[in-house]
Structure 1
Amino acid sequence: MASFLSALNPVPSFPDYTGPYKVGTVDVEIPVSELVPPSPTPDGAEDLHTVQFRVFFPGVPEPRGKRVTWVPAPQRLHVAAYAQFLGIGSTLASILSFLPRHLHWTTIPAIKNAALLPPPSDSPRSRWPTMIFSHGLGGHRNAYSHLAGSLASYGVVVVCPEHRDSSAPLSLVRDPQNQDSFSVKNTRRVVPYSRIPHAQTHEIWEARNKQLRIRLWELGIIFEAITAIDRGDGSLIKSNLNGNTPERALSQFAGKLDVLDPGRVIFAGHSFGAVTMVQLLKSTYYRGHPSVKAMPSPLLTPTDTSAIAKQITPDNPTILLDMWCFPLLSASTAPLYNLPLPCYTPSPSPSPISRLLAIESAAFFKWSEHLHAKARILSPSPSAVTRRVSQDEFDRRRLSKPHFFYVDGSAHLSQGDFGVLFPSLTTGRLLGADRRALSERVLRLNVRAQLQFLRENGVVVAGTAKADVMADGLGVSGRGEGEAGEWVERDEGILHGGGGEGECVEGDRCSGLGGWGVSF
């Protein structure tokens, strides 16, 4: 407990975003009744009357704009929930939530309800690229704010759902029918965290599948909401139950999000969130595959006319951060496991560009058994009998290799906000400034890799801050273009330099991936 309290003192803070754009944010909660769900309501979601998400976006500079707090309201309940998540008893957690509120004052460097910056005039699509990011266990819609805000500062609209599958420390579901009730307690339902063991049993796998069904159902509805907002659906915009978000803050997105053309949306997630995106992509893309249709209890059955079914193609850029593979190994979802990610679909005119970026923590990379499982999942032949997918397999199917990296010295929590706010939790024996420096470096490398990955996929984003490139010492030897000023327009060294293209650190541990893993 002492270490927990010390981590909250002084007030934890975020570094500024390094992109050329200021960042705005809006908080959204839409009644499910306002939308047509793409699939039937799964078990456990009957009382989830809304979907909730936060949006980070390039904003108009507002010197007097108000920041948002990192801990969602009501803060006391969320702090107590986080304390319990970290293993502190419920009674003591409740007491701690009343102690000096250092964490309560932590703010996200994004302006609440800011005006959306118009897309650049030279942008070929006149729309902002859009990402949907799924959180892991213990996360919520604010838990990856530094990563999401950093991408927004370079020109990406990032939608961060809050899953109500009991994976968040606490989530509050507003009741659309009782918003005029005098008692606040009557207007919301509490969804607490459910602590599920990690044992490899049928019961545990089914518990995770139950969570995944809720998550995928939510993502399908959220994407329906996003496309409706882009269409300027006034009725849906007015239905937002978050009274702190004015209608103009949502209506300004009409016609500005690159979400309508198939294959344009970026799908990303961390840990269980990365698993969520794998199952969303496969369940949607292979919805007509005989083995998937034969599943007794599918994770998602989207209709062909749903927005999510129209969006997912082999071309969607996919970013998987430290994916926790255990939930993918369930026997009941084996048909999905055995099918490759959509990006590996053979094409008569294949693209040489990789649609898949996976970034590991050093902790997960050194977990040999888990790495082998991940190698299969990220390969074009997950069900292959051999341990290693050969170069011939890629050449024969004319497929591009995935980008696969890990960040030296990083922990599983390093890619979320915990790494910056509480570096003592993710940096081992390092002290003081060294902890903070490593935590910021991990996220900086993640952002650089994701930006360059998006550029190579034809997504228009701003040039990476030259200071960030120089700080890491990767890709500064002529691999980037436009380096004369403050920005590096093509930061190629982050994906194709550093450890040497094609070189695998501890190559025997990369079996199944063909040896493309490099450390930053």
Structure 2
Amino acid sequence: MAKSQETSDHRTTDVLPEEAEVSSTKWSLASWVPKFPALPKYTGSFSVGCADLTWSYLKERQPFEEAEETATAQDNIRHMITRLYYPAEVTAAERTAKWLPSPSSVYAQGYGDFKKLPRWLSIPVVVGMLSFTSIHAFIEAKLPATGPFTNPAKKHQFPVVIFSHGLGGCRTTYSSICGEIASHGFVVCAIEHRDGTANASALPDTGKDTVTYRWPPVNDTDAEYQFRRGQLLFRVSEVQQTIQMLQRLNNGENIEEGKARTESESQFQNRLDFSNVVMAGHSFGAATTVETLRTEKSFFRCGILLDPWVFALEHESSNWRGGLVPTLDKPVLTINSEGFTNWKESFDILLPFLNANRERSRSPFLTVKESRHMNQSDFPILFRTVYGLKDKFSGKIDPEVAINLNNRAILQFLRNTVVEFGQFLPNDEQILSKEPSLITH
């Protein structure tokens, strides 16, 4: 079995760069605080709105959880937190959303703790740099009267993407991808997982019911597998909770019993197209996507895997090399960073799985040249001017070019896959076959 990336020589932080000793880094605190970073604008024909949705549900405590971290009014009450990115009609009254979720200190501390940075450094630097950084999405903006479909029967509806983050991420970490997809006519629901794989997760504004990052057992591969496997199954249950929430939202019901709908939530009634739902994710989120597509076979039209991390899937799939490869029977787009493709131990397990699915459906597999694992998140763009971190976040490729290549490939795949929707998306056939910056497998 391949080692977890947490314990192998190919250490992954899934969102943040490889760990660096603070004492040996040749920068001053002042060099950490350049101008406030900016993310690229979205390219689609729609402006983008966003809204954070929270609700609670009942679920028993899981073995990987620590009792003190789930203490609420009732131990089995769980909270879900998601961010919707969606096509919008924007007026002068709306304001853009901040990249760092609220409360910003909780998430700044979470990112720092995840990287084992001292809090005297992580909180002021992350808050100082990123609390003024906005995404190009407007808070609770109005949904347009008509959507992207050419079919008159669906002209008021929007296809849906559910997105799952990787280790150390949260609901805003991939805003460059989620917002771009939304600008082309999709409602994208980014889950903030509460299994201890987010850098931190807290109820918006209040900071209540905070779940911090949970570290796996060390020097025990089997124990780590059981730990990660438990988290993976918990994540799948959160995807199922999200599906139910979106269905309630579309039916005009309260997303939580006893909790009145907001005006922002009400506008989604009868606007979501559940015949065109896409499951997507990065790294552990890509593993979540694989497991979800195998569990919820009839609900999703296709999947998108960004640098899929196979560790938590591996025990169940130990016969992959022997030919007993699990299949999804769905079109799946896989985009690897060159760093992940070069990680032979993982790639040798991943490739038979992808090849088996390509025999059954249209499932392209691409590698972005000169890119690293974090090039599929916002971080290389946000920190590209920070001395000492630029090379930790990104490969040699320009971070905006890397995100653009990922987005172009995703949009072309959706053009080829989502029913009655392709004509709306830009035709970019070259990206899946002849783009010189991509390796086609």
TM-score bin, normalised by smaller chain: 0.7 to 0.9
Q: Does 1:445 align with 2:405?
A: yes
Provide closer, same or farther for how the CA distance between residues 276 and 402 of structure 1 changes in structure 2, counting only shifts above 3 A: same
Q: CA deviation at 1:249?
A: 0.4
**Cα drift, residue 282 of structure 1:** 1.6
User: Secondary structure of the equivalent of 2:304?
Assistant: strand
Identity among equivalent pairs (%): 29
CA 1:235–1:273 in structure 2 vs 1: closer, same or farther (change >3 Å)?
A: closer
Match of 1:319 in 2: 304
Q: Which of residues 329, 336, 339 in structure 2 aligns to 1:343?
A: 329
The reply on whether 1:60 has 2:20 as its aligned counterpart is no
Shift of 1:173: 4.8
Q: Normalised by the size of structure 2, how large is the TM-score?
A: 0.81
Choose 445-454 or 46-55, whichever is displaced more.
46-55
**TM-superposed deviation, 1:217:** 1.2
Change (3 A) 1:237 1:450: farther
The question of 1:364 aligning with 2:327 is answered: no
Do structure 1's residue 239 and structure 2's residue 239 form an aligned pair? no
* Deviation at residue 205 of structure 1 after TM alignment: 0.1
What SS does structure 2 have at the residue aligned with 1:328?
Answer: helix
Query: Aligned partners of 1:408, 1:3: CA distance in 2, in Å?
Result: 32
Is the 1:410–1:426 contact (alpha carbons within 8 Å) kept by the matching residues of 2? no
8 A contact 1:427–1:439 mirrored in 2: no
- TM-superposed CA distance for 1:115, in Å, is 0.1
Q: Give runs of aligned pairs for residues 27-66 of structure 1, distance below 5 A.
A: 27-32=52-57, 42-43=62-63, 44=65, 47-66=76-95
Distance 1:336 1:23 in 2: 41
Q: Decide whether the 8 Å contact of 1:76 with 1:98 is kept in 2.
A: no
**1:255 aligned to 2:267?**
no
Describe how 1:104-503 pairs up with structure 2 within 5 A: 104-120=131-147, 123-124=150-151, 125-126=154-155, 127-173=157-203, 188-196=208-216, 201-234=221-254, 236=256, 239=259, 247-259=262-274, 261=275, 264-285=276-297, 311-312=299-300, 316-331=301-316, 338-343=324-329, 355-380=331-356, 394=359, 399-423=360-384, 428=391, 438-459=398-419, 460=421, 489-498=426-435
What residue identity is the alignment partner of 2:43?
Answer: T
Query: What SS does the aligned partner of 1:49 have?
Result: strand
Structure 2 equivalent of residue 299 of structure 1: none
* Displacement after TM superposition at 1:491 (Å): 1.2
* Alpha-carbon separation, structure 1, partners of 2:404 and 2:62: 38
CA distance in 2, matches of 1:5, 1:211: 38
- Summarize the Cα distance change of 1:200–1:401 in structure 2 as closer, same or farther, 3 Å threshold: farther
CA distance, structure 2, for counterparts of residue 248 and residue 209 of structure 1: 38
Residue 420 (structure 1) shift: 1.4
Distance in 2 between residues matched to 1:250 and 1:359, nearest whole Å = 33
Taking the aligned partners of 1:52 and 1:491, their CA distance within structure 2 comes to 34
CA distance in 2, matches of 1:380, 1:428: 35
The answer as to whether partners of 1:81 and 1:93 remain within 8 angstroms in 2 is no
Does structure 2 conserve the Cα–Cα contact (< 8 Å) formed by 1:26 and 1:113? yes
CA contact (8 A) 2:164 2:286 kept: yes
1:238–1:247: 8 Å Cα contact kept in structure 2? no
Provide structure 2 residue ranges, at least 5 long, that are not aligned to the other structure.
Answer: 1-21
Distance 2:239 2:61 in 1: 12
Shift of 1:257: 0.7
Find the aligned partners of 2:126 and 2:334 in 1 and give their Cα distance. 40
Tell me, yes or no, if the aligned pair for 1:31 and 1:239 is still in contact at 8 Å: no
Note the alpha carbon deviations across 1:301-333, whole angstroms, 9 max, x for none.
Answer: xxxxxxxxx524xxx2110001112221125x6
> Would the aligned equivalents of 2:408 and 2:428 in 1 still touch at CA under 8 Å?
yes
CA distance in structure 1 between the aligned counterparts of 2:272 and 2:239, rounded to whole angstroms = 17
- Number of equivalent positions: 399
Q: Answer whether contact 1:59 1:117 (CA < 8 A) is retained.
A: yes
Q: Following the alignment from structure 2 to structure 1, what is the Cα–Cα distance between the partners of residues 124 and 76?
A: 28
Assess if the C-alpha contact under 8 Å between 1:267 and 1:318 holds in 2: yes
Q: CA RMSD in A?
A: 3.3
CA gap 1:430/1:143 in 2 versus in 1, 3 angstroms? closer
Cα separation, 2, equivalents of 1:342 and 1:430: 32
What letter matches 1:52 in structure 2? I
Q: Counterparts of 2:411 and 2:399 in 1: how far apart (Å)?
A: 19
Q: Give the structure, 1 or 2, with the largest relative contact order (CA under 8 Å, sep 6 or more).
A: 2
Amino acid paired to 1:151: I
> Residues 407 and 112 (structure 1 numbering): CA distance in 2 closer, same or farther, change over 3 Å?
same
Output the TM-score relative to the length of structure 1: 0.69
Deviation of 1:117 (Å): 1.2
Return the alpha-carbon distance in structure 2 between the equivalents of residues 143 and 27 of structure 1. Answer: 14
Asked if the contact 1:451/1:461 (under 8 Å) is kept, the reply is no
User: Shift in Å at residue 213 of structure 1?
Assistant: 2.0
Q: Distance in 2 between matches of 1:229 and 1:252?
A: 9
Provide the residue aligned with 1:17 in structure 2. 42
Alpha-carbon shift at residue 99 of structure 1 (Å) = 8.7
Stretches of structure 1 that go unaligned for 5 or more consecutive residues are 241-245, 286-309, 345-354, 382-388, 465-488, 506-515
Judging changes above 3 Å, is the alpha-carbon distance between structure 1 residues 49 and 453 closer, same or farther for their aligned structure 2 residues? same
Q: How far apart are 1:32 and its partner, in Å? A: 1.3
* Aligned match of 2:17: none
Alpha-carbon separation, structure 1, partners of 2:409 and 2:290 = 20
Asked which structure has the greater CA Rg, the reply is: 1
CA drift of 1:462 comes to: 6.9
Q: 1:238 to 1:21 in 2, by over 3 A?
A: farther
- The answer (yes or no) to whether the contact 2:85–2:188 under 8 Å persists in 1 is yes
